[in-house]
A and B are shown apart, each in its own frame.
Chain A
């Protein structure tokens, strides 16, 4: 498989030309322009340490550079997921099965996690090769150990929230937040972080685990940097009102939610208004049933 990979040198060359950077600009103080040129053409090797330094010389950030490289590799898991998502459910299920088989063959945990990611994220179940308790055990065992969360782990966690019981969920979220940078924001990380937070709170409210929901909402609203996107802010505000309602302040909470819904109905796409209306009606029904 490694032979099929686009060489990193060739990729850096394409990147450099796209950005209109000269060999000298990229190489300055790290290596010579001549060496970089030979590396780009595959005529010499450079050490990992040197290439890591070169990466910081481009206009794009390193994360975008990594994504660009990944997009060239058809075998990459996320590339396969993208293709299967376009192709539809059977393709996704087949991909999950393939990952499961590879795990069985090689014992490499990532195949197993990839399979679980697909199954949980799409709400698939297939008892012939999978059971929910076993998936939960395997993801939990992996994520529990993680102290340095990469985008892979964030994506895995975001996809598998529904598998965990409420205590596990709160403790995983708390562990994840410990590793988040306090000030420097990182766009993709922030997106995952707020998606995980707001989705976890929604899940806990739906399960009627209100003390855990309050705990996570308190953490979310006291984060040093509030979410930059309007959607996360909307969800937090809405979830706050659900908890107010649950505490018995029905009139105030209903008025606030109705306000939000009225504003959302002014948007061109009905998506957000529908999303919240459905959720709100379901919540009211659950509250009614509980009383």
Chain B
């Protein structure tokens, strides 16, 4: 269907006359010719029309087959479910010139499937210097930071956390910026716990701020990480309480049916909890 015909269909479905739709933007006859495919429409007028009729642009911009989709879109969908196969296939199709995108994929693949994908030291330092020398992180860079936090040396981790923390201090920081920062802080907590650095772990946890309001998924994740810290407490009473509450949280997740994306972080928490004798059977 031509975009003109599609527009006509949606316009009529919404009960609008040609005159109504064209009002203030173009003449009735121009709109009519566009709808019937006898003439083209300049882009500026077309997008004003879509705005006037509250229509979505993506209805008209034909989605491409999956391997032609924009990189970030495809990456985010695959990374959310740790779909290693899809991540690897994105990498294969990526031109060598797309250095930062390749870097993100290498890091992600390594983190999701370390036994199959190794990461070279120079890639790690490349990612690090990229982040440290860029003032304003794009989405791509933020994603790189989240992945880098999972492998960077512990002494450099604090610097990375501080850098991301600075990124979200700006006014009007968008919500997804906060979400990614929180994911990184949570990943950092797990690494510190694994290394027995509980003070650093608590500090990283304290960086998680306002961003979580109303998001049950991240609230739940934070609650689990908090219980993990309790399990690692030297106070036996606190540790026991942490254990019980962690199992209670997992029970709720089982009742609701855990969404697939929990698989990217829950097993790591479970492993660390199990190392302290906290498992489902306990």
A48–B41 touching, CB < 8 Å: yes
- Which residues of chain A from 32 to 69 have any CB-CB distance to chain B below 8 Å in the complex? 39, 45-53, 55-63, 65-66, 69
Q: Does A2 contact B (CB under 8 A)?
A: yes
Bound-state Cα–Cα, A142 to B14, Å: 7
Given the complex, which residues of B lie within 8 Å of A46, measured CB to CB? 42-43
Chain A count of residues within 8 A CB distance of the other chain: 71
Q: Does B121 contact A (CB under 8 A)?
A: no
A272–B219 touching, CB < 8 Å: yes
Stretch at the interface among B112-120, B150-158, B184-192, B243-251: B243-251
Stretch at the interface among A104-112, A122-130, A161-169, A197-205: A104-112
Nearest CB of chain A from residue B25's CB, rounded to whole Å: 6
Stretch at the interface among B15-23, B124-132, B195-203, B271-279: B15-23
Bound-state Cα–Cα, A2 to B23, Å: 11
B71–A230 touching, CB < 8 Å: no
- B60 to A, closest residue via Cβ: A52
Is chain A's interface secondary structure helix, strand, loop, or mixed overall? helix
B10–A148 touching, CB < 8 Å: yes
Stretch at the interface among B45-53, B84-92, B161-169, B231-239: B45-53
Stretch at the interface among A92-100, A259-267, A278-286: A259-267
B54–A150 touching, CB < 8 Å: yes
A48–B3 touching, CB < 8 Å: yes
Given the complex, which residues of A lie within 8 Å of B25, measured CB to CB? 2
A228-B260, A256-B255 provided; 9 other pairs, C-beta below 8 A?
A8-B47, A51-B46, A61-B58, A62-B61, A108-B23, A109-B15, A260-B255, A269-B213, A269-B219
Identify the A interface with B (CB < 8 A): 1-2, 5, 7-9, 18-19, 39, 45-53, 55-63, 65-66, 69-70, 73, 76-77, 106-110, 141-142, 145-148, 150-153, 184, 226-231, 233-234, 237, 256, 259-260, 262-264, 266-269, 271-272
| 8 tightest A-B CB contacts, nearest first | A48-B46, A152-B54, A263-B252, A51-B43, A62-B58, A233-B256, A231-B216, A47-B40
